[in-house]
Amino acid sequence: MERIIKNTFTKEISTAVFNDWSLNFTVERDATKVLSVQVTGQTAQSYFNAHRNEAGNVSVSFSGQGGYDNVLANAVTEEINLIVAQPVVEA
């Protein structure tokens, strides 16, 4: 998945497209670690939300007409793990 990053350091906002889903990522960090990752998405009349909190808990939900998309949920969870694994570098 390729994300296009808009802002960096304490708050990073990026977008991506995956299997017709338009995704928006918001990553909040402090000087040493990722505090949270919020991902929202939409395709046709389906909606997606994923959130990872500072404790590392990830929640995923879908709403609308499409039902649960396991491929999307797995891809976003993998992307969240990649984001968290990246070292925080002060700009």
E strand or H helix that includes residue 82: helix 70-85
Residues of the chain with pLDDT > 90, as a percent, come to 63
Give the pair of three-digit tokens for residue 18. 């995956």
91 — pLDDT class (breaks 50, 70, 90): low
**Among 1-15, 19-33, 64-78, the least confident range:** 1-15
pLDDT, one tens digit per residue, over 64-87 is: 998 899 999 999 999 999 999 987
Q: What is the pTM of this model?
A: 0.85
Q: Are 44 and 54 in contact (CB under 8 A)?
A: no
